[in-house]
Structure 1
């Protein structure tokens, strides 16, 4: 009897110790906290997706170029705005729609979180695929001679692989090779465009951060196309994020800013902008 009791106690002890190791290992292999506050940094997407069954609503606003005090450094000038709503189908899959003032752009977007950085370092980075299809909804007269017009001339597409890593819980950095294709472009521009994107977020005080983005075109057209540069500050809460920043491009949709940005950052072609993100 004593022998059986001893064996039972020994088995229970082994199970307890083994289960403790399993739970410890599982805890170490849990995903890190989201490296970015929301699904987008400034204009580019991040590796973060909405949780299953939740929405992310965004207002993205750009003032006109900073010129002079007469137009209050762009605030009184022509603005560009995008409204977007994204939904978490699962914790890994996101779908969304958006509408942008300039060029009356209507976009359908999707994202898939391929893998997520873990606390143990077993998975050292997060990797997501992002894509969109954008429709230019302006009148037919904006697409050349009537006899040459086709509906597909209105469409453009973007595909992107986003790789991010969080360092010590304070600094997150991401890189994204990007490919954009426009079915129709003005003379002097390319249908196919590629770029390499860099972006980062440095937490400086609680949920407040410094954010930046840089997007370098790789296939240069005949017309001058410049890199996209943006930097600003982000203020976050548990359900909201507000960013105010300066950028050298007015197009909010990456399909256009990568292919057509004619604002030279070395000539002071900058404008103010802000984003508001709400999660619910």
Structure 2
């Protein structure tokens, strides 16, 4: 456990002391372009909390994302109120173009690997132009954790996969306020019982309120629409703060969902805020301009 914290601290220090290249605000917080009328900087980062935002990285920009969730606050003093426990995801996201991103990641939860494509189809414009930004998102996740012995391990490789499809629709109303809707479908090739939904539908909603130039308050909520899943699992609610520091965005998060991939926090979330099933965690985003451009 100590080695895990030492590694996390070293990673944070290395990221923080690395020479800042371009200001991250040029990725997700630049001012509106007078030349094109495009509205930019709807959100500070490519994540609202657990879920994706409409933001994409610029062409040639590589983003390294460290996501970490401790245990629940109600785990008590023996577990140091969750700090003795940890779930982590490491991810890389790359801008093939200004609109098209590709990403990969690995989570410690169920030893899950995930990959995604993200395409900004429409971008909000000033005045009477396009009123919203629309980004399409699709991902695949594979569980590599061994099957439980009692199951006999009689599963095909395809049973390890799940898929997510989202339409991320957002509007920047003012320099301070941005809101987003995220219609979501999670398809699972294997479910625990015949009663469970293979296709789980949910509606995500969230937004951010800018407090200062470099900080904002974020909220995110995923409401389960599939009736059978809604009976056994909980809607994911996340609250947090974004803190931008040059080439980094630190996101401090309180959530009732442990997983940081859609297959976890949408269809199989079990935490109750009212019972103290609250996971404190963070996302750290660091960008690298691989093409050496001055601006993105």
Decide: shared fold, TM above 0.5. yes
Once superposed, which parts of structure 1, at least 4 consecutive aligned residues long, lie more than 4 Å away? 140-143
1:269 aligns with 2:277: yes
Aligned pairs, how many? 253
1:151 aligns with 2:157: yes
- Partner residue, 2:110: 103
Output one character per residue of 1:173-210: Cα deviation in whole Å (capped at 9) or x when no partner: 10010000110011243211010001111111111010
1:161 counterpart (163, 167, 173): 167
2:200 counterpart (163, 168, 193): 193
SS in 1 for 2:274: helix
Check whether the contact 1:28–1:119 (CA below 8 A) recurs between aligned residues. Answer: no
1:65-80 map, 5 Å: 65-67=72-74, 68-76=76-84, 78-80=85-87
Check whether the contact 1:201–1:212 (CA below 8 A) recurs between aligned residues. Answer: yes
1:248-267 map, 5 Å: 248-267=256-275
Structure 2 alignment gaps of length 5 or more: 1-32, 289-296
* Structure number with bigger Rg: 1
- Partner residue, 2:220: 213
> 1:265 Cα shift?
2.3
SS in 2 for 1:265: coil
1:180 aligns with 2:217: no
* Higher RCO by CA contacts (8 Å cutoff, separation 6 or greater): 2
Output one character per residue of 1:15-35: Cα deviation in whole Å (capped at 9) or x when no partner: xxxxxxxxxxx9464211221
TM-score normalized by the length of structure 2:
0.81
Query: Using the alignment, how far apart are the partners of 2:152 and 2:279 within structure 1?
Result: 34
Query: Using the alignment, how far apart are the partners of 1:75 and 1:221 within structure 2?
Result: 33
Output one character per residue of 1:40-99: Cα deviation in whole Å (capped at 9) or x when no partner: 1111111110000001111110001112233222101x2110000000000110001000
1:204 aligns with 2:232: no
SS in 2 for 1:73: helix
1:36 aligns with 2:43: yes
Structure 1 alignment gaps of length 5 or more: 1-25
Output one character per residue of 1:201-242: Cα deviation in whole Å (capped at 9) or x when no partner: 111111101011000111032651111001011101342100
Query: Using the alignment, how far apart are the partners of 2:78 and 2:144 within structure 1?
Result: 33
> 1:266 Cα shift?
2.5
